[in-house]
Amino acid sequence: MNTIRLSGAIFLLASFLSVNSEASQKIVTFSPEASLRDGISGLEKLGCKVLKHLPLINAVVADFPEKTMDPEIMSCPQVCAVEEDRVINWIEEAPAAADLASVDAALARIKAGEDKGLIPPFPAEPKAELNPKEIPWGVKRVNSAAAWQRTSGRGVKVGIIDTGVDYNHADLKPNYAGGYNAVEPAKPPLDDNGHGTHVAGIVGAVLDGSGLAGVAPQASLYAVKVLTAQGSGAYSAIIDGIQWAVSNDMNVVNMSLGAPQGSEAMRKAVEAAYKAGVTLVMAAGNDSGPVNYPAKYPQAIAVSASDSADKIASFSSRGPEIVVIAPGVAINSTYMGGGYKALSGTSMAAPHVAGLAALAVASGARTPAEVRGALTGAAVGIGLSVTEQGAGLVDASKLVR
């Protein structure tokens, strides 16, 4: 295998867009006992226009007159929290990466006895009836083909909370089951960036003898578009996407997006989704520093990124919140327009784990806690610190036993 060079790989380190200090759009949360109707009635006395309801967290997004101050909003009887509905860039293109270790080189080191006791062997080649070229190295590294003898994720609903999905792609169309556009609700959730389509392919591209396959190639894929073509989005759009996932009974959601700062409203949305039974798999971040939000929240399964030599990717965020590690360097997957592209980032590591979570659900894990337990129980340490790898790299064959 030739060494892969990456050009324009997507990193998900969030950089804040300029926000108008006089911006009037707010997320207003009401007390648990208050009804949305009563809460809205109080806000309308301030001359606001309600733009969106967020019943998952008993909140609304509202546009207020320019001079309205937060204390005025807080004075409304049912209001318990107010925050700016910030718009930021959640995914960012990075400079071309240096040459990366190939899978063949890593395998040769293992066969030669190097790293003995640290790096578990790569799984065996897929069965003869499978096309080895259809199995990307990351899907192979987590031993997905061994799990397919038991389940491929059929019947499991996975929401891709991202830039949308190119659901016309030949490798995604058979598994696409619907979706929602939180950015422009009247429009379909079609990807206009590429990031979401790449993520979707890692989770569940179909196994059909051509193109490439995802970790859970029979899972049902749902596009939840919360980001624009530029990768930007409001906090409220992401909360709306989580809300849609809960309302439509997603088993698993993948969120390959992140920011250095959290949001009280988003924290409540993550907590509510977890309580509702949604397994939340999230990219840790690409700033080589602490785990980003929302992956930092304890309900999330935060995923760091490894390379083909089972080392942590230099860009990967790390910290005590990491649950598992997954392949995230030079990952080939589907791309908008019907093509394929190799990208790097914890954006690519997380969907490997979302696919594994789908296999766990198909194997009987019923709650987010059970899915987390199945993933960590099937993980193997690869010689990194706990803050880098969490429980380690998941072996799908152990996941479905």
Domain with residue 271: its CATH number is 3.40.50.200
Residue 306: enclosing H or E segment and its boundaries? Answer: strand 301-306
- From 316, 347, 363, 397, the catalytic residue: 347
Report the DSSP pairing between strands 220-225 and 232-234.
unpaired
Looking at the fold, whether 171 and 193 belong to one and the same domain comes out as yes
286 pLDDT higher than 90: yes
162 is catalytic: yes
| Confidence at residue 92, expressed as pLDDT on a 0 to 100 scale | 62
In a domain, 13, yes or no: no
Q: Are residues 179 and 50 in the same domain?
A: no
**Which candidate, 80, 100, 84, places its Cα nearest to that of 3?**
100
278 neighbors 366 (Cβ within 8 angstroms): no
Tokens standing for residue 192:
């206009």
* Separation CA 163–CA 174 (nearest Å): 20
* pLDDT higher than 50, residue 98: no
Instruction: Choose the final residue of a domain: 43, 63, 85.
Output: 85
Per-residue model confidence (pLDDT) at position 295: 98
Backbone angles phi, psi at 139, to 5 degrees: -65, -40
Residue 344: pLDDT above 80? yes
Our count of domains for the chain comes to 2
Whether residue 14 lies inside any domain: the answer is no
Domain C-terminal end among 37, 57, 85: 85
Q: What is the mean predicted confidence (pLDDT) over 228-241?
A: 97
Other CB atoms within 10 A of residue 276 CB? 16
Q: How far apart are CA 280 and CA 267, in angstroms?
A: 12
> Do 125 and 139 meet the contact criterion of CB atoms below 8 Å apart?
no
Closest CA to 256 of 294, 214, 229, 217: 294
Alpha-carbon distance of 115 to 137, in angstroms, equals 20
**Total-model pTM:** 0.89
Are residues 136 and 65 part of one domain? Answer: no
Reported confidence tier of residue 130, pLDDT bands at 50, 70, 90: confident
Q: Which of 85, 171, 191, 195 is catalytic?
A: 195
Q: Which of 51-55, 65-69, 320-324, 351-355 has the lowest mean pLDDT?
A: 65-69
How large a percentage of the chain has pLDDT more than 70? 85
The span from the CA of 169 to the CA of 63, in Å, is: 38
Q: Are both 173 and 256 inside the same structural domain?
A: yes
Q: The tokens of 163 are what?
A: 């830039």
Q: What residues contact 365, with CB distance under 8 A and at least 6 apart?
A: 357, 371, 373, 374
Domain's final residue, options 85, 104, 134: 85
Structural domain that includes position 160: 91-399
For residue 401, the model assigns a pLDDT of: 79
Are 80 and 100 within one domain?
A: no
Q: How many CA atoms within 13 Å lie on the side-chain side of 362?
A: 27
Residue 122 lies in a domain: yes
Nearest CA to 318 out of 401, 386, 260, 247 is that of 386
CA angle 174, 179, 181 (to 5 degrees): 140
**323 and 390 co-located in one domain:** yes
The CATH number covering residue 65 comes to: 3.30.70
Would residue 7 count as lying in a domain? no
Assess whether 56 and 109 both reside in one domain.
no
Q: Which pLDDT score is estimated for 109?
A: 46
Do residue 79 and residue 98 come from a single domain?
Answer: no
Task: Answer whether residue 82 shows pLDDT above 90.
Answer: yes
**Are residues 120 and 213 both part of a single domain?**
yes
* Stretch (H or E) spanning 288: none
Question: Residues 6 or more apart from 373 whose CB is under 8 A from it?
Answer: 365
Mean pLDDT of the chain: 88
Tell me which of 162, 166, 171, 395 is the catalytic residue.
Answer: 162
Residues 69 and 150 in one domain: no
Please name the helix (run of DSSP H) or strand (run of DSSP E) that holds residue 374, with its range, or none: helix 368-377
Residue 20 lies in a domain: no
Dist CA 273 CA 250 (whole Å): 10
